[in-house]
Amino acid sequence: MATEKPADYRLPTNVKATHYDLTIKTDLEVLKFWGYVIAHIDILEDTSSITLNASDLSFALGSIAAIDSSGNLHKAKADIVEDKKQERVTFQFEDPFKKGSSIQLRAAYEAELGNSMLGYYVSSWNKDGKKRYAYRDPDPLQNRAFPSWDEPLLKATYAINLISRSDTVNLSNMPSISEIPLISGQNASDEPVGVKGLREVFGTDGEGWKVTVFEKTPKVSSYLVAFANGHFAHIDGTYTSPLSGEKRPLRVYATPDIIHQGHFALEVKSKTLPLYEQVFDVEFPLPKLDTLVAADFDAGAMENWGLITGRTTAFLFDPKKSDLSAKKRVAQVQAHEVAHMWFGNITTMAWWDSLWLNEGFATLMGEVIILNKVFPEFRCHSSFINDHLQRALKLDAQRSSHPIQVDCPDANQINQFDALSYSKAASMLRMLSQYVSEEKFLKGVSIYLKNHLYANSEPVDLWNGVSEATGIDVSKMMDNWVWKIGYPVLTVTVREGDIHVRQDRFIATGDVKEEENQTIWHVSASASYIPLTLLSTDPSGKTSIDRKVVLNERETTIVLDTTKPWKLNAGTVGVYRVSYEPEVLKQLGTWAAEKGSPFSLEDRMGLVNDAITLAKAGTSSTSGALDLITGLKSETENLVWQSIASTIVSIKDLLWEQPPALQERFRAFEAFLFLPIVERLGYESSPSDTVDDRELRTLAVGRAARARHPAVLAELRSRFAHFLETGDDSKITSDLQRIIYSTAVRFGGRIEYEAVKAIWRKPPTPSAKNSALIAIMQSEDAEIFEENVKLIFNEVPLQDWHTTFAALNMNTVVRRKATGVFKNNYDEIIKRFEGNFSLGYIVKYNFESYTTEADRKETKAFFEDKDNSKYNMALNQALDSINANATWLDRSLGEIERWLREVPAKI
């Protein structure tokens, strides 16, 4: 295959847009919009054609023209050349424009307000559908709202006018300058030129309409330009800049029925903004920062400059009714998006292949460093290990993985960014931050931002900033982590008086090939090495961490007393795994389980996570991983139990089609682990509960219920029965809401199903709606399954389809049926989701849990004759996952059976 050149997928460089005057008229009653754009263009080469991004816009042919600096009018030819695959249009002119000249390209167009979550689209918020609102989802190549040069490098300023019905609210990136009634006919001489242009082409009735004029933006990439129209309510807040003392307004917008749940997001925004200013030493440059809550949204949220947008679960929280996980999600998402106001919006990656510069950094800053300052009780640094590091390591262990600097030659690839752009990038940056110190790392980030204000950057620019702050050649140091696939596993062999350590690339199936194992991983400029971060204990029993011990070649030997507590990768900071021999792992587990263990919380999490992953790859034994978590049965830390629960889920999912007796024995083991926690913490929260208490209670009750322990099931079902009998939901505590709903549906009948479905249709909070949707998909009844399929295609919003298929995948009784639904309705699903981020998730959720080679072959065969260019990354990950599952099952099924027969003696 020929290698694609930039010219094959990048816009021509013969012109450059410097400013846009953009006018949009939105009619929520007829579900249409009309636009008039005036693009101010510098001509860089002699040309008679102008190519830019646009999709699904109907241009008024007579409106397309250019006015040069002398006032001469140049009409475009009648034919518009469209490239639907690349989402482009080309306008041809009779006479060429001369290099060095400037023109104003003018074009009028119209389009439908669809509900596809693409471009400028519509959503309804009440049950009769009469109240609607529209917003632009300004992700990459969503040129269904206005024509533009939609590449991040091509920044320009924008002056936006929004025409709408008088009883609606208009929003955009900047504050409004004025809002006046739309004046009809000859009385409209003072209105903006774009409004006049729109009127001349399409006609505009002034009665009942208004024009909102917004301030001009700074230079901004087109994917960050946002606008919305609807029946919005808002709540107000402010923050005061610690750098200038200026007070800026903050708002959260939503529909009137849910706006009261936006106060927590507003609080997070007001607390994090001044912290970002202090850390970056760069003031937030816009006059305001709004957040708009959207009922239908493809991704979780979007960092549009000055107007953050996102789905209800990302920004709404009711302190009386929402669960703790909803609170943490709102805090994480809002802080993440605020981080982008600097890292992404002020300074933007030059092309989509460096998206990780935006997302990895916003993940680290928004979900760890800054959030920890506001909510230390969330223990963000420790939670990162389960939330992001393990997620990244799991995905990056597959052969279908890719470097975080991902090749993105084609528009079809842009919506396929995955956990590596977020979680591995953040993990790599966290490792760098720990190595050079967080203080110096953030100083380097500040230097980087100041050097690229309102401009674009490459990864080397960030490394140069950190290098300046640290005196270390960071670019050389981080090269492999950015450009190479995968990460190493360190195999440790204990000998008398020392340990031998070897690094190799880690592959999930354990069968790394020689050609895949050429990279020597390093995080230092002075020498190629991995910091081993060795925890050891001296003869007096004092434990210390040596950060200078390194692996500077393929393998090395370290003098060490292994009779006392020791461990590599102390704090689980390194982006690698450590494989110990079975007896060594058992000893480490014993030390980890001791009261007052020398191993930190993060160390114990790392031990558990590595053990099960390495067992799956055949590098260590599955029985050893089971022994390790059995030895930790007295553990009290929630985050360690989350790691243990992840291990349990992995093995349980491996056995989902094995004989019922084997599955029952494993469920008994699961109940043995989690029931004591349920008995200790109970089912009710108390004012004295810590965040960890609440999360551990939720986890333990949920796992004990999934283990089908009779007493736990009876308790949960009785709580839902009380609600059915009385209408009083006080026994359905917010933290246990999801598991109570799911248990009621799974072990109940038609009555429970209909009751939970009614909650889904009219939920008290977005988290309750999500919980109810997941729960109704847990029914094992064949008739209800068919009803659920109709529900998906007729009532479930598109934004929730990936959640729905994930929920069906959790229900092993209907898992194969759900995959059949996907296959049988493939064409319709692709049509509905083409271009959406959600499509890849839907593909993965339908196939990744299968456990046989026959399933892998069947899945591959199903997709062979299909155009999978917009989800091929997710498909390959699913195929790799099936392969890893099948390999693990073949290798370890007998071992698991033997261990379960012997486990009564061990516990």
Q: Which residues are catalytic?
A: 337
Pairing relationship of beta strands 15-27 and 32-43 according to DSSP bridges: antiparallel
In degrees, to the nearest 5, what angle opens at C-alpha 821 toward C-alphas 829 and 789?
90
Q: Strand pairing partners for 860?
A: none
Contacts of 471 (CB under 8 A, 6+ apart): none
For the chain, the residue count is: 907
Compute the chain's Rg from CA coordinates. Answer: 29
What is the Cα–Cα distance from 617 to 10, expressed in whole angstroms?
41
The first and second tokens of residue 629, run together, are: 């978590």
Hey, what's the torsion of the CAs at 697, 700, 706, 708, to 10 degrees?
Answer: -100
- Judge residue 159's burial from the number of C-beta atoms within 10 Å of its C-beta, 0-12 exposed, 13-18 middle, 19 or more buried: buried
Give which of 683, 777, 687 is closest to 735, Cα–Cα: 683
Q: Strand pairing partners for 347?
A: 343, 455
Classify 449 in phi/psi space as left (phi over 0), alpha (psi -120 to 50) or beta: alpha
Label residues 862-874 b or e (16+ Cβ within 10 Å = b). Answer: ebeeeebebbbbb
- Judge residue 190's burial from the number of C-beta atoms within 10 Å of its C-beta, 0-12 exposed, 13-18 middle, 19 or more buried: exposed
Contact 765, 738 (CB under 8 A): no
The values of phi and psi at residue 117, to 5°, are 65, 25
DSSP state of 420: I
Three-class secondary structure assignment of 34-96: EEEEEEEEEECCCEEEEEEECCCCEECHHHCEEEECCCCEEEEEEEEEEECCCCEEEEEEEEE
The first and second tokens of residue 810, run together, are: 């959790």
The first and second tokens of residue 255, run together, are: 């529909």
What is the Cα–Cα distance from 653 to 649, expressed in whole angstroms?
6
What is the Cα–Cα distance from 521 to 393, expressed in whole angstroms?
15
Contact 559, 497 (CB under 8 A): yes
Half-sphere exposure of 161 (CA within 13 A, CB side): 27
What is the Cα–Cα distance from 521 to 502, expressed in whole angstroms?
11
What is the Cα–Cα distance from 23 to 164, expressed in whole angstroms?
11
Task: Specify the amino acid at residue 30.
Answer: V
The residue to which tokens 């986890």 are assigned: 699
What is the Cα–Cα distance from 263 to 251, expressed in whole angstroms?
9
Hey, what's the torsion of the CAs at 776, 313, 702, 692, to 10 degrees?
Answer: -170
Which helix (H) or strand (E) segment is 161 a member of?
Answer: strand 157-165
Which helix (H) or strand (E) segment is 240 a member of?
Answer: strand 233-240
Contacts of 411 (CB under 8 A, 6+ apart): 9, 85, 86, 87, 140, 141
Q: Strand pairing partners for 819?
A: none
The first and second tokens of residue 790, run together, are: 């109709």
Hey, what's the torsion of the CAs at 264, 269, 274, 280, to 10 degrees?
Answer: 140
Label residues 786-804 b or e (16+ Cβ within 10 Å = b). Answer: eebbebbeeebbbbbbbbb
Pairing relationship of beta strands 120-124 and 455-457 according to DSSP bridges: unpaired
